[in-house]
Amino acid sequence: MPAHTDLLSPDIPPELFLQIFRFLDAKSLVRCCSVCHVWNDLIRDTIELQYSIELLAEGMVQEPSVPGCDPNRDLHALLTRRRAWQTLAWTSKVTVDVEPLTRGAWELAGGIFIQHQPRNSSILSVAFSRDQDPTTELTQPSPQAIRDFRDLALDPTQDLLVRFYAVSGDSEHAHLHFVCRTISTDQPHPLAAHSTLCLSLDRDVRDTYFSMQIAEDIVCVFYYKPPFTFHIINWKKGIRVVHLMPDRSVGVLGVTDIHLLTPRSFIGIDTSPYATVDSGRIDVFTFDGEHPNPPTLIATFELPKTFPGKNLVNAKIFAGAYCANTGSVVTPPPPPFLKSNESRIFMLHLRHAVNHWFWLFVPFHVFHKYVADAADDGPRLVLWDEWGSTHSRMLAGSARNMYRAVHGSRVALPFGERQSGLVQILDFGATIQRSAALANPDIPSSSADFQVRLHTGPSNIPSADYVFLSTITTTLPYLSAVRKLAPGNDIFLLDQDRLCAMNSATGNTGQMTVYTF
């Protein structure tokens, strides 16, 4: 249908079309805008509908529990916050005393920062607010619990903190303990089947480290020391539903990291040859979260082919926290909008022999498409040429571990030398339309302390570097903003409203600087 066609009959008042439009979701509204100029003008001139479209563009969902929804106010707040992140123009800055982030375990999600502090045998909880100074609280578990403490994970939207302990029985046996408590009161979580869930593991757990994630009723733990071990636990039912170790029958042999995609699916990165893929791969699995069952491989994504001796030897996966609900129950009042789980970017840290490092950025929907459309005829093989060029972005990387520097579609990375104090925010939710405002004269011009650029052209990793057999070209758009912070900051954390920065070289005590947008 021609875009200029007028579909408004003189007998149908515009108000009736507006009532129909209000029943549509944001994606349908965007399609309606392209039908004709009159429809486009009706939608663009209606604040309520425009707010719905801008939420979609920003990868946000509306918080239904916020009283007194005002689309005009909330749209203004959304656009103001977008501009603040594009220009890295924070509205406030505070410092918080913490232990160095190179020690113990820590996590930032939904305005809550929690850190295990082995020096004083405590758990530090910091609750941030947009309007007040942060509040801090120390919890001191038993000395035995602190000694065996390994990791933690939290979901403020469920008021859930899971502490993970691994107790070594001997060199071949260990006991794993998952303690589910509320963040707000440090009491056993009322929805947990058991306040402490205990599992046995037939291997040594000394001299290694773990990672842990939460997605609704699921907690997963990945044991990095080869051969890998992966557990998925339903904390509400109190059962282990997946126990994964190297297993040729399900196609997992050299897994170096795993990350939950949804509460019933995950991705794993594997360096071992499999089928026709010999250069590393990303596997997508689904699983039954209600009963113990092996996971099901539904898709394998090929990574770029390499020269002999330059194969993928290690990789890590980073992504923002999965939120079960739309708002935090720990730090009220919630904002009128929050990042959706579907807007997440997955950041893969790839190491090829010998010490060639790359970042690979892939949106959630690239993997989830195969979860939603899982076929009955076995796993799909997705070649690099089918997905890599248009649906990812590969950049030269470094050996530095980025910890939890990912939230939604944004990634925070050190820029330049370690002591430069420069931070770079990459936003893979950026579009040309969303970023058109960058031409506005109130955007600061580029300088030694600030740069902003929308990348829509290709990135090339040349084959002349003798890692990949052919030049790797990727085109996923992103916005890059660089700004100078305090010198020496090289560890960054992100959530929806904050950038936290700290110096990894800090001694026994340290300060974390929190920039709020």
The per-residue pLDDT for 346 is 98
The contacts of residue 436 (CB under 8 Å, 6+ apart) are: none
CATH 2.130.10 region(s) of the chain?
86-516
List the structure tokens of 417: 């030398």
List the structure tokens of 289: 């979260």
The contacts of residue 174 (CB under 8 Å, 6+ apart) are: 166, 167, 168, 200, 201, 203, 204, 205
List the structure tokens of 264: 């019933």
Beta-sheet pairing, 281-286 with 459-461:
unpaired
CA–CA dist 57, 45 (Å, integer)? 17
Coil vs helix vs strand at 27? helix
CA proximity to 301, closest of 263, 264, 341, 261: 261
Predicted TM-score (pTM) of this structure = 0.91
Token pair 């080869």 is at which residue? 226
**Per-residue pLDDT reduced to its tens digit, 41-79:** 888 889 999 999 999 988 898 876 666 678 899 999 999
Beta-sheet pairing, 296-302 with 380-382:
parallel
Q: Does residue 190 have a pLDDT over 50?
A: yes
CA–CA dist 369, 471 (Å, integer)? 27
**Per-residue pLDDT reduced to its tens digit, 238-285:** 999 999 887 776 667 789 999 999 999 999 999 887 656 678 999 999
The per-residue pLDDT for 2 is 44
208: which DSSP letter? -
- Tell me the mean pLDDT in the region 354-360: 91
Mean of all residue pLDDT scores within the chain: 85
pLDDT band at 446 (very low <50, low <70, confident <90, very high): low
The contacts of residue 35 (CB under 8 Å, 6+ apart) are: 1, 3, 5, 7
**Per-residue pLDDT reduced to its tens digit, 471-505:** 999 999 999 999 999 887 878 999 999 999 987 76
Which amino acid is residue 164, in one-letter code?
A: F
Do you find a cis peptide bond into 441, omega within 30 degrees of 0?
no
Backbone torsion region of residue 251, taken as left when φ is above 0, otherwise alpha when ψ lies between -120 and 50, otherwise beta: left
Q: Does residue 506 have a pLDDT over 60?
A: no
CA proximity to 312, closest of 258, 274, 354, 259: 354
168: which DSSP letter? E
Residue ranges of E strands in 128-254:
135-139, 149-155, 160-170, 173-182, 196-201, 210-215, 218-223, 229-234, 239-244
pLDDT band at 312 (very low <50, low <70, confident <90, very high): very high
73: which DSSP letter? H
CA–CA dist 500, 494 (Å, integer)? 6
The per-residue pLDDT for 64 is 66
- Tell me the mean pLDDT in the region 87-98: 91
Q: 86-516: what fold? A: Methylamine Dehydrogenase; Chain H (2.130.10)
Q: Does residue 428 have a pLDDT over 70?
A: yes
Q: Does residue 143 have a pLDDT over 60?
A: no
